[in-house]
Amino acid sequence: MENNGWNEFEIGAMLRTFDGAIEDIAGTRQEDRNYTQNSSFTASVADWRLEKPVFNKDYCIDCQFCWVYCPDISIISRDKKVIGVDMDHCKGCGICVEVCPTNPKSLLMFSEQTDEESAIAGWPTKEDKEK
Amino acid sequence: MLEIRWHSRAGQGAVTGAKGLADVISTTGKHVQAFAFYGSAKRGAAMTAYNRVDEKPILNHEKYMEPDYVFVIDPALVYTSDVTINGKEDTKYIITTHLTTEELVAAQPKLEGKEVYTVDCITIANETIGRAIPNTPMLGAFMKISGMYDIEFFKESMQRVLKKLPQKIVDGNMLAIQRAYDEVK
Amino acid sequence: MAFDKLELNETEVWDGNHAAAQALRQAQVDVVSAYPITPSTAIVEGYAKFKSDNLVEGEFVMVESEHAAMSGCIGAAAAGGRVATATASQGLALMAETLYQASGMRLPIVLNIVNRALAAPLNVNCDHSDMYMVRDSGWIQFDAFNPQEAYDLNLIAFKVAEDHDVRLPVVVNQDGFLTSHTAQGIHPLSDDDAYNFVGEYKPMNDMLDFENPVTHGVQTEEDWHFEHKARQHSDTMNIVPGKIDEVFAEFEKLSGRKYSQLECYNMDDADVAVVCMGTSVETAREVALEMREKGIKAGVVGIRVLRPFPFANIAEVLKDIKAVAALDRSAPGGAAGALFNEIAGALFNTDSKMLLSGYIYGLGGRDLTKKHLVDLYTELQANADAGKLLTQQQQFIGVRGPKLAFL
């Protein structure tokens, strides 16, 4: 598309989200949707990240705060249960960690190189609140 | 080409009168034009409206006009504005006033030697329509002076033009047209 | 149908504004988003009244400015409705930013511009400075010379704009007061004939099509912007003129009224000609006919379609004319008049020996009288006889004070 000539675009700089007609889009998971190249779903921004969020399901209470606040719709939730982070679209902003209310947090930022296993193994324990 | 210039105050119905006249004439197969100069139209400000009538389509859109008829529907305008501007030798003037034609010409020497008719459209309108809207009586007077149409045909046509108004107002207008037709001198 | 129809007489005495409002009603416009301004107010007011009288099914959106009015039109058109509005002068100036949005997004909106001077000094009367201000905004632009044409061109505008090969917004210009407030005999189409001519709205890429979601109003930087503008210009130049001719022909078949991109009057054997727009075209025709009785072979060219400008047509029409006057009803702001430039451009790389002079006239509603036009044709004939321009290339008609001439 980036090398298209003037006669190869649809008029009005109008962009389609999906190839072909859609039905029941609300009932279709993102990965099953027929997004076009115009949709940002098909573009990865993974290389924008300096740090990445790691999800630890042991402490998660499924409050969905992270899902609500994520500016890139990158928290993957199924039946109101968080199951992980969409690492193609997460830019590593850390908002999910900031809004996570559990103690210890269920999402924490780690360097890109850290593997998930060692991140979970070194997860902090519950902090006592100062009285 | 028949050309008419109206002298009026904004709000007295000259534009409605000019459009109504155009409407009636149009039904007889002639071509018509009705327009006005508004300026910064404030209610009460002096203004002019115009009619053109012809057998063939009217192409001329200039505002300049040497009128065949001049209608003055407000009694003060004959004193304060130049109602004879761009007049021709045979231009006919129909002027609203409570004065007789002789008294008016004596008071306004610019009218001397011109074909002047007078009728008190304001009083007629007040007594028939109940408001000082002197446009339709002027058209009654015009029918008499010009002999353009039979007065009954004209009244019937004006009933159609005015049909959106309350019946009482329409009736008043019919009386006004007839009275001005009878009273213009 | 949920609304009532109107029985119209064969001849109605309407002014240009009412004629345009009736056309919007008959086209069954879905949305009018408007902010009123003299002398265009009666058009949108008329639509609102028709709506309240149940004579049209649609939405009237009252907004806080002309910028918002056109923004509302853009939203409604992108959503998939038949959309129209009206404005003039300062209102159009405030709307200008959104006009480029509408054309760039290829939305078939119909905008009535009731031509009025631009302040300062403040003035409500006719000239073409507002028309000229937006002439490069990417809209198709028609010009009506009388109320009948304001009516006809509105119906034609929807049919051209909404064609899927066109999909461009259309301006219908008419002279403020001289057309908009001048009542003349008009032959309207019946409600059914008018609606059938315009046709049912055929949506394209509409936002209310939930099965085919689209994004309108995208951002493109140096990577794609040029290609989109090129596509728009290519369609305007290559597709639109043919579509306009097609729709004009279809309208003639229906109404008997013939329209052309250039309206030529007595041009076949003319020695001298005036090119102009608006009501001046008709006044010039009357004078041209009278000049023939005086032995001057005079013609008139009226610009019916200002955009896309009929470049080749005007070169063809004018190439053998000896002397031509381009009449521009807009202060040129330090240049030749716009029509002068268009005509000069069209004739430049040709063999034509036509003598071209430009005239600025009628600013702020100043009357263009028959006497002015008689003098103008006489001056053109003198140029033709001398075989050269005897005046400067730019003059002013009807302005008080010492004679002005430039270039």
Q: Which helix (H) or strand (E) holds C311?
A: helix C311-318
The verdict on C273 and C313 lying in the same domain is yes
List chain A residues with CB under 8 Å of C211. Answer: 21-23
The verdict on C287 and C302 lying in the same domain is yes
**Closest by Cβ to B33, choosing from C182, C368, C369:** C182
Single-letter residue type at C340: F
According to the 3-state scheme, what is the secondary structure of B29-59?
CCEEEEEEECCCCCCCCEEEEEEEEECCCCC
Quick one: which of B32, B36, B46 has its CA closest to B5?
B36
The verdict on A7 and A56 lying in the same domain is no
Chain mean position to CA C67 = 20
Distance CA C69, CA C94 (A): 10
Q: Are C96 and C137 in contact (CB under 8 A)?
A: yes
Single-letter residue type at C230: A
pLDDT band at A118 (very low <50, low <70, confident <90, very high): very high
Chains C and B touch (3+ CB pairs under 8 A): yes
Please give the C-alpha separations between residue C276 and each of A109, C350, C368, in angstroms, as whole numbers: 71, 22, 12
Give me the sign of the Cα torsion angle B93, B99, B103, B108. Answer: negative
Residue A12 scores a pLDDT above 80: yes
Give me the sign of the Cα torsion angle C376, C380, C385, C386. Answer: positive
CA distance B180 to chain C (A): 25
List chain C residues with CB under 8 Å of A28. Answer: none
- Which of A10, A11, A23, A39 to mutate against chain C (most C CBs within 10 Å)? A11
Structure tokens at A37: 């190249």
Beta bridge partners of B116: B93
Is residue C6 a part of any domain in this protein?
no
**A36 close to C (CB below 8 A):** no
The verdict on C164 and C70 lying in the same domain is yes
Distance CA B53, CA B88 (A): 17
pLDDT band at B40 (very low <50, low <70, confident <90, very high): low
pLDDT at B109: 93
Distance CA C126, CA C120 (A): 14
Strands A107-111 and A51-55: antiparallel
Is residue A103 a part of any domain in this protein?
yes
**B62 close to C (CB below 8 A):** yes
Q: Are B109 and B117 in contact (CB under 8 A)?
A: no
Quick one: which of B69, B64, B120 has its CA closest to B90?
B69
DSSP C277: -
pLDDT at B41: 67
User: What is the CATH classification number for the domain harbouring B166?
Assistant: 3.40.920.10
Please judge whether A9 and C211 are an interchain contact, meaning their C-beta atoms are less than 8 angstroms apart: no
List chain C residues with CB under 8 Å of B34. Answer: 13, 15, 182-184
The tally of domains found in chain B comes to 1
The tally of domains found in chain C comes to 2
Residue C88's contacts (CB-CB under 8 Å, 6 or more residues apart) are C37, C38, C39, C40, C113, C114, C115, C116, C130, C176
List chain A residues with CB under 8 Å of C224. Answer: 4, 9, 13
The verdict on C313 and C281 lying in the same domain is yes
Judged by average pLDDT, the poorest of A19-23, A58-62, C258-262 is A19-23
Q: Please, what's the b/e burial string for C251-290 (b: 16 or more CB within 10 A of its CB; e: otherwise)?
A: beeebeeebebbbbbbbeebbbbbbbbbbbbbbbbbbbee
pTM: 0.93
Distance CA C201, CA C191 (A): 16
Q: What is the number of helices (H) and of strands (E) in chain A?
A: 3, 5
**C177 close to B (CB below 8 A):** yes
Environment class of B43 (CB within 10 Å of its CB; exposed 0-12, middle 13-18, buried 19+)? exposed
The verdict on C245 and C387 lying in the same domain is no
pLDDT band at A3 (very low <50, low <70, confident <90, very high): confident
Which residue do the tokens 């007040």 mark?
B126
Quick one: which of A75, A79, A55 has its CA closest to A66?
A75
Quick one: which of C96, C127, C100 has its CA closest to C114?
C127
Q: Please, what's the b/e burial string for B7-30 (b: 16 or more CB within 10 A of its CB; e: otherwise)?
A: bbbbebbbbbbbbbbbbbbbbeeb
Distance CA B134, CA B72 (A): 10
- Which of C13, C122, C148, C266 to mutate against chain B (most B CBs within 10 Å)? C13
Single-letter residue type at C89: S
Q: Is C97 helix (H, G, I), strand (E, B) or coil?
A: helix
Q: Is B155 helix (H, G, I), strand (E, B) or coil?
A: helix
- Which of A2, A3, A4, A6 to mutate against chain C (most C CBs within 10 Å)? A6
Residue A1 scores a pLDDT above 80: no
Is residue A129 a part of any domain in this protein?
no
The verdict on A95 and A56 lying in the same domain is yes
The tally of domains found in chain A comes to 2
Q: Are B52 and B6 in contact (CB under 8 A)?
A: no
Tens of pLDDT along chain C (407 residues)? Answer: 579 999 999 999 999 999 999 999 999 999 999 999 999 999 999 999 999 999 999 999 999 999 999 999 999 999 999 999 999 999 999 999 999 999 999 999 999 999 999 999 999 999 999 999 999 999 999 999 999 999 999 999 999 999 999 999 999 999 999 999 999 999 999 999 999 999 999 999 999 999 999 999 999 888 899 999 999 999 999 999 999 999 999 999 999 999 999 999 999 999 999 999 999 999 999 999 999 999 999 999 999 999 999 999 999 999 999 999 999 999 999 999 999 999 999 999 999 999 999 999 999 999 999 999 999 999 999 999 999 999 999 999 999 999 999 99
B44: containing domain: 2-183
The verdict on C247 and C335 lying in the same domain is no
The verdict on C236 and C316 lying in the same domain is no
**B146 close to C (CB below 8 A):** no
Distance CA B5, CA B67 (A): 6
A82: containing domain: 44-124
Strands C305-307 and C140-143: antiparallel
Which residue do the tokens 């306009």 mark?
C244
Judged by average pLDDT, the poorest of A35-39, A72-76, A110-114, C65-69 is A35-39
**C306 close to A (CB below 8 A):** no
Residue A2 scores a pLDDT above 90: no
The verdict on C247 and C345 lying in the same domain is no
pLDDT at C1: 53
The verdict on A4 and A61 lying in the same domain is no
List chain A residues with CB under 8 Å of C107. Answer: 12
User: What is the CATH classification number for the domain harbouring C350?
Assistant: 3.40.50.920
pLDDT at B171: 96
Distance CA C337, CA C325 (A): 11
pLDDT band at A31 (very low <50, low <70, confident <90, very high): confident
The verdict on C112 and C233 lying in the same domain is yes
The verdict on C279 and C147 lying in the same domain is no
The verdict on A58 and A28 lying in the same domain is no
**C369 close to B (CB below 8 A):** yes
C339: containing domain: 262-406
pLDDT mean over B98-105: 96
CA distance A42 to chain C (A): 16
The verdict on C296 and C159 lying in the same domain is no
pLDDT at B115: 97
Beta bridge partners of C298: C272
Strands C214-215 and B92-96: unpaired
User: What is the CATH classification number for the domain harbouring A65?
Assistant: 3.30.70.20
Neighbors of chain B by Cβ distance (3+ pairs < 8 Å): C
**Closest by Cβ to B34, choosing from C182, C285, C369:** C182
SS3 content of chain C, % helix, strand, coil (to 5): 40, 20, 40
Is residue C195 a part of any domain in this protein?
no
Q: Which helix (H) or strand (E) holds C299?
A: strand C298-303
The verdict on A24 and A61 lying in the same domain is no
- C 269-298 residues inside an 8 A Cβ radius of A: none
Environment class of C378 (CB within 10 Å of its CB; exposed 0-12, middle 13-18, buried 19+)? middle
Chain mean position to CA B147 = 14
Distance CA C118, CA A53 (A): 59
List chain C residues with CB under 8 Å of A36. Answer: none
Is residue A131 a part of any domain in this protein?
no
**Alpha-helical regions (H) of C31-122:** 41-52, 66-79, 89-104
**A3 close to C (CB below 8 A):** no
Is residue C250 a part of any domain in this protein?
yes
Is residue A36 a part of any domain in this protein?
yes
Is residue C377 a part of any domain in this protein?
yes
The verdict on A11 and A52 lying in the same domain is no
Structure tokens at C381: 């004939």
Residue-averaged pLDDT of chain B: 95
The verdict on C331 and C233 lying in the same domain is no
